[in-house]
Amino acid sequence: MFSLLQLFAATEESGPAIHITPGELFTVGGFSITNSMFYGGICSILIVILLIVAARKMTIKPKRGFIQFVEIGTEFIIGTIQNSMGSRKKAIQYAPFFASAFFFVMLSNWLGLLPGVGEAITYNEQPVLRPFTADLNGTLAASTVMMILVQYFAIRENGFIGYLRHFFAGSLKNPATYLLGVFEVFSELTRIGSLALRLFLNVAIGEIIIAIFTYLGSFAAPITALPFIVLELFVGALQAYIFTMLTIMYLSAAIKHGHDAEETIQAANEVTAQTA
């Protein structure tokens, strides 16, 4: 019993390789290039090429293979935006940003599960390849870009005054409006951190769990690690969905203004008229 405890406790000497932070591969003019930046670049080049090929080959009559997969993903994103914004035209207008974010996050998560990513190939005692989303800097950058896009779209839809009135809603003579407005701005800022932390922790902890079960399995590692790799495939797709879904929800909350209450009252009146 006690020896089992020591097996878990002795992580310093001979435990599984666990990295929370990315490792530095080399420096270019004072900037350090980490392994996650390196693999993120490879992933984004791959995604750009794949999606351009898919867009060229896309026809009205559906084809089999990779193109069908891209079509299903894009249609799914358009359907999600349509559900939360209520118009197909707006959904198609905003779809490119969210679809590219969805495919980038999902493929980054999935490419991190390939063999050879991690401890297999090392350079300067650091693994050469590390998934881009298993790095807090990467996910922070992704969520910051998405939240800035949301603010930009909100300003473009409502105008700058309407954008500010979304935060400072209510009578301007009331001091409570300003207090609540500051809280609203602050909650908009915390969304960047929560989006980034959620994506980073899910992917990084998946990597750690796979590393731990590979270590515990020793010679039977393929059998013990396989269920967790299959689980991580599911989690990777789910986290990409959640990342885009939450940004879409923030965008639709920022764009909607004013006449929410009127519409609700109108809908309620129609329902009561029908039942009566």
Partner 1 sequence: MELDVLAKGIMMGFGMLGPAIGIGLIGSSFMNAVGRNPEAAKYFGQVFVIIAIVELMALLVFASLFII
Q: Using CB under 8 A as the criterion, which residues of the chain lie in contact with partner 1 when the complex forms? A: 5, 8-9, 18, 20, 80, 194, 197-198, 201-202, 204-205, 208, 238-239, 241-242, 245-246, 249
Q: Strand 122-123 vs strand 31-34: parallel, antiparallel, or unpaired?
A: unpaired
Q: Which lies closer to partner 1 via its Cβ, residue 15 or residue 162?
A: 15
**For partner 1, which is the closer residue by CB, 76 or 153?**
76
CB closer to partner 1 out of 68 and 83 = 83
The rounded distance, in Å, linking the Cα atoms of 59 and 139 is 34
Give the H/E segment covering residue 34: strand 31-34
In whole angstroms, how close is the CB of 210 to partner 1 at the nearest point? 14
The answer to whether 232 touches 113, Cβ cutoff 8 Å, is yes
Q: Are 112 and 199 in contact (CB under 8 A)?
A: no
Taking the complex as a whole, the smallest distance from the CB of residue 42 to partner 1 amounts, in Å, to 26
- Is the distance from CB of 20 to CB of 139 less than 8 angstroms? no
Contact 25, 126 (CB under 8 A): yes
Least gap, CB of 245 to partner 1 (angstroms): 5
Q: Which helix (H) or strand (E) holds 122?
A: strand 122-123
Nearest distance from C-beta of residue 4 to partner 1, angstroms: 11
Q: Which is nearer to partner 1, 36 or 239 (CB)?
A: 239
Q: What does the alpha-carbon distance between residue 140 and residue 136 come to, in Å, rounded to a whole number?
A: 6
Instruction: Find the shortest distance in angstroms from Cβ 242 to partner 1.
Output: 4
Q: CB nearer to partner 1: give 133 or 158.
A: 133
